[in-house]
Structure 1
Amino acid sequence: MEPANSIREQLTQFIEKNSMTLSRFSEVSGINTGTISRILHGNRPISVSQLIAISSGMGVAADHFFADYVEECFAYSVSMRRIRPFILRSAELNRLDCIEQILYRLLDDLDYVTELYEMAEQLFEREQRSAAALLYKSVSEVEKYQHSERLAMCQYRLFLIGQGENLEENLKAAILFEPYVDRLDEGYQLDALKHLIHVFMAVHKWDKVDGLAQEMYKLAKIIYESKHLSKRREHHEDHTERPLYTYILYAWLIRSTVYEEYGDYTRALELVGLYASGNIWVREDDDESRRVLKQFEEWATANKYLYQMLSGDINVVKEYANYITQYPDEIFMALRYIIQAANKFNWNIDDIIERFSDYIVLRTYMTEFGQYNSSMMDQNYAKLLGELALYYLNHNRDIAINRILEGLNFSIQKNNDLNFIKYVIVFLEKCFSSEKSVDKEKLQLLINELQRINT
């Protein structure tokens, strides 16, 4: 194929317009004079590094010639030595249009699929997720009729890349990806199950969450026992984000949360005992394992208080509040549950709300153990505002309307208003049932706000 001449023509015009010799352009661009001559005469292809140097010498943006360079990639002969660095540089400069053009022409030849997948993985590791997604989609399209692990990995990466604040979009991505989970390497399966669990938790699909947690437990237990029965442990690769025993403990933790949502606190407490017992059976004994086991023990202690409180035991409320003060990043979540229990059993917890007033605002998604899922934390913040509004309404506090409106607006911003609407409904029902004029005023304020949001 003949070389693409647009770049050469523009370079020639620039040199002539500025009355430059090849030697002078060599000085400003850093390209050897002979190389420039051969490029101008079309005797050799232009490399990506030379393209960037030409752009620099001409005083134009680094990606000025990128659209023209797509043709250069297929001139002379199709060469991944030019295409690979061009795709990587296009990703750095966010020239996704150029990557799309390359892929459109390249995928006619299945021989390049492996290299494109490897590039996608490289871009994924570099956090250049939009560019990586283009490559993963292309590879998936080529291999869509293959039941390969590579196809499953492409779908897994696309699922991870697609996760954001929109819960409906997250759910769609999870449903599309789930059929590919069992085609992944076992280690990747564990993390895939974990991420799927987070998505289904965020949309309150608790039966689904429980099923996935059971899958995680069974798979993690098999791999963990196999690893420690093997006489060649040093050759075992986990391919997991966390140590294997963590997934067993985490599966129990998730299942206790499911039973919490079902209101079965007896079963939830039984599972608390399981993830508190890791020090009995976990074989690893290093700094990381000790830190992880300590974290699960702390969660177990806190959740034991929590489930006793949610069962109606008012005597543990102050103990729970005192315990949680040791862990400032957990106070926000604990406060939400304390207020929830107070509303359920009609307790007065003014002293605790005052004590933790600084933690009513969502300040962080981080804990000592890692980052909470942002969608779930946003939901919990909305729930805290809803429970707080109901608490203030139950205790005839005028601030109730402010909290319910704040929670509604926050939920709408996060595309999560359907999950918050139950608090609005309860709030309205309480207002309708009240004979106090002040409640009627609050009701009208809320109706006005709902009408404003709906227009």
Structure 2
Amino acid sequence: MKLRNFSINQLADLTGINQGNLSMALNGISRSLTISQLDALAKVFGKVPGWLYELYTEECITESKLSRPRLIPYLIRCVEVGRNDCIDRVVSKLLDNPKNVKILFAVAEKLYQRRKERESERFYQLVVDNVKDSFSDMLAISHYRLFIINQGTDAEKNWKAVIRFDPFRNRLPENQRLDALFQLAKVCYTLQKWNEVDEYASELVELSTTLCCDEGPAPKRHPVYYYGKGLLYKGAVLERRGLYDRAKDYVLAYTNLEWPEPLDKSGKKEVEKFRVWGKANLYLLEVLSGNEKMIGEYADYLQVLNELNDIVSGLTAILKSANMYGFNVDGVLSRFFGFIDRFDTFNNILILADRHLQYRYQKAIYEFSHGRILAGLDETLHCLSLANEMNRYEDTFHCVSLFEKYRESASVQQLETYRSAMVREEVYI
């Protein structure tokens, strides 16, 4: 203040801090400044964000006192400005008393709600590492958040995340259990863990109908959404097992969703989504059952939907059917050429990356079966690249087997690409 020739009154005006409070704080008469007030002072004095934070730790926690109202905003600001040194000091002191884990959990939740999921991960992990009561809601929620945060396209990591979280799914508050079961089913679907998908889907159907009239805290989405998703995944498991007639029963059930109570606007929107998905999946099942006449009609419907997600799923089914029954679908593929070129935009999105991989594999088989060997090898290499990126070891094996079958026809460039892929995976060729 002396260097800038500021009076208390001027500084109060510039920072927005009450003049009386500022005067008493600076003279040590009253409670210290809040972290937002310290930030305001830093801005006025031209200092970088995080200025004097190393001193502010003592305003929040000492051997004799702890101020939760100050600690939580302080730790959040430390995260935002990158003052990890201050976080380390506070965490070290907090963990001297196991009860203080609640503060770390509160920080994690606030960061998560602000969509700072990666920043919240450290605090959730601290909760998991330090809560000893295995039936604690705080522990279960932390495991759930870590499961969500760590979802990606790496199959190995995703399966480990499922294993870690699974024992805690039934210890969550009921309104969060629905979304947790849905997330577990979704991840296991991409991992082709059909027994697990079926189990989680059954729990999803049962719990959503149980909670439909519950007056407790609302789940993330309308319960009818989770009910429909449970039916969808049960049908999808049967479809992937080749049980198309049985799968159709589930598709019809979520195409014409019935709910035990009147639906509000959000519920009606969810029901309409399932009607659209159901119609598309009825076409899909007909095509997979070998109904060649339905392929053109299904392609027309996909074009009307004009959704990249639906198109990659639909074209994969059409190719799979063509491979099983010897159909020629070149005309259909040419209709969606522009969309196919955009499939690589899926590669960082869990379930869409899985669908893209399945498309490339079926496309490779289709090309080989029609005598287009070089094109088939290109598709196989594309699929192999996706499988490697996602740590999908079984899919990698299938791609290697497919390439080896036609290896003698590969171009020099294709062989070089193949060898490079195998070196990255430390596979000896």
TM-score tier after normalising by the smaller chain length: 0.7 to 0.9
Q: How does 1:233-312 map to 2 (within 5 A)?
A: 236-279=215-258, 281-312=259-290
Q: State which drifts further: 310-319 or 91-100.
A: 91-100
Q: CA deviation at 1:151?
A: 2.1
Q: Specify the alignment match of 2:42 in structure 1.
A: 55
Q: Specify the alignment match of 1:404 in structure 2.
A: 380
Q: Specify the alignment match of 1:12 in structure 2.
A: none
Q: CA deviation at 1:119?
A: 3.5
Q: 1:66 aligns with which of 43, 53, 63?
A: 53
2:257/2:271 contact within 8 Å kept: yes
2:12/2:22 contact within 8 Å kept: no
Is residue 448 of structure 1 aligned with residue 383 of structure 2?
no
Question: In structure 1, what residue type is equivalent to 2:272?
Answer: K
Structure 2 SS opposite 1:326: helix
Structure 1 SS opposite 2:304: coil
Q: 1:107 aligns with which of 95, 98, 121?
A: 95
Q: 1:424 aligns with which of 389, 393, 400?
A: 400
- Give, in whole Å, the separation in 2 of the partners of 1:283 and 1:148: 33
2:153/2:353 contact within 8 Å kept: no
1:305/1:320 contact within 8 Å kept: yes
**Structure 1 residues 65 and 153, CA, compared in 2 at 3 Å: closer, same or farther?**
same
Is residue 86 of structure 1 aligned with residue 74 of structure 2?
yes
1:28/1:57 contact within 8 Å kept: no
Q: Give the structure with higher Rg (CA).
A: 1
Question: In structure 1, what residue type is equivalent to 2:338?
Answer: D
Q: Specify the alignment match of 2:339 in structure 1.
A: 359
- Give, in whole Å, the separation in 2 of the partners of 1:306 and 1:94: 50
1:187/1:239 contact within 8 Å kept: yes
Question: In structure 2, what residue type is equivalent to 1:378?
Answer: A
Q: State which drifts further: 346-355 or 132-141.
A: 132-141
Question: In structure 2, what residue type is equivalent to 1:245?
Answer: V
**Structure 1 residues 251 and 72, CA, compared in 2 at 3 Å: closer, same or farther?**
same
Question: In structure 2, what residue type is equivalent to 1:358?
Answer: G
Q: Specify the alignment match of 1:163 in structure 2.
A: 151
Q: Specify the alignment match of 2:318 in structure 1.
A: 338
1:386/1:420 contact within 8 Å kept: no
2:101/2:127 contact within 8 Å kept: yes
**Structure 1 residues 256 and 46, CA, compared in 2 at 3 Å: closer, same or farther?**
same
- Give, in whole Å, the separation in 2 of the partners of 1:443 and 1:84: 56
Question: In structure 1, what residue type is equivalent to 2:360?
Answer: L
How much identity, in percent, do the aligned residues show?
Answer: 27
- Give, in whole Å, the separation in 2 of the partners of 1:444 and 1:158: 41
In the comparison of the two structures, how many residue pairs are matched?
A: 420
- Alignment deviations for residues 95-119 of structure 1 (CA, whole Å, 9 cap, x no partner): 3443343222123334544444333
Q: Specify the alignment match of 2:139 in structure 1.
A: 151
Uncovered stretches (5+) of structure 2, i.e. residues with no partner? none
Question: In structure 1, what residue type is equivalent to 2:75?
Answer: I
Q: CA deviation at 1:390?
A: 2.2
- Give, in whole Å, the separation in 2 of the partners of 1:322 and 1:272: 20
Uncovered stretches (5+) of structure 1, i.e. residues with no partner? 1-14, 228-232, 367-371
Question: In structure 1, what residue type is equivalent to 2:51?
Answer: H
Question: In structure 1, what residue type is equivalent to 2:256?
Answer: S
Q: CA deviation at 1:361?
A: 3.1
Q: How does 1:95-134 map to 2 (within 5 A)?
A: 95-134=83-122
**Structure 1 residues 200 and 248, CA, compared in 2 at 3 Å: closer, same or farther?**
same
- Give, in whole Å, the separation in 2 of the partners of 1:89 and 1:326: 48
Please report the RMSD computed on the Cα atoms of aligned residues, expressed in angstroms.
Answer: 3.2
- Alignment deviations for residues 51-83 of structure 1 (CA, whole Å, 9 cap, x no partner): 223423442211132233223423584222322
1:249/1:275 contact within 8 Å kept: yes
- Give, in whole Å, the separation in 1 of the partners of 2:40 and 2:275: 58
- Give, in whole Å, the separation in 2 of the partners of 1:337 and 1:40: 71
1:139/1:151 contact within 8 Å kept: yes
Q: State which drifts further: 376-385 or 101-110.
A: 101-110
Structure 2 SS opposite 1:399: helix
1:90/1:98 contact within 8 Å kept: yes
- Give, in whole Å, the separation in 1 of the partners of 2:283 and 2:129: 51
2:108/2:123 contact within 8 Å kept: yes
**Structure 1 residues 285 and 37, CA, compared in 2 at 3 Å: closer, same or farther?**
closer
Q: State which drifts further: 287-296 or 191-200.
A: 287-296
1:198/1:373 contact within 8 Å kept: no
Is residue 196 of structure 1 aligned with residue 161 of structure 2?
no
**Structure 1 residues 443 and 36, CA, compared in 2 at 3 Å: closer, same or farther?**
closer
- Alignment deviations for residues 362-398 of structure 1 (CA, whole Å, 9 cap, x no partner): 45989xxxxx992121121122122222222222223
**Structure 1 residues 189 and 23, CA, compared in 2 at 3 Å: closer, same or farther?**
closer
Q: Specify the alignment match of 1:316 in structure 2.
A: 294
2:287/2:295 contact within 8 Å kept: yes
Q: CA deviation at 1:42?
A: 5.7
2:323/2:365 contact within 8 Å kept: yes
- Give, in whole Å, the separation in 2 of the partners of 1:373 and 1:237: 36
- Give, in whole Å, the separation in 2 of the partners of 1:179 and 1:156: 10
- Alignment deviations for residues 208-250 of structure 1 (CA, whole Å, 9 cap, x no partner): 11111111112222233xx1xxxxx7xx135312211222221
1:408/1:417 contact within 8 Å kept: no
2:388/2:425 contact within 8 Å kept: no
2:8/2:23 contact within 8 Å kept: no
Q: Specify the alignment match of 1:184 in structure 2.
A: 172
Question: In structure 2, what residue type is equivalent to 1:193?
Answer: L
Question: In structure 2, what residue type is equivalent to 1:71?
Answer: E
**Structure 1 residues 110 and 449, CA, compared in 2 at 3 Å: closer, same or farther?**
closer
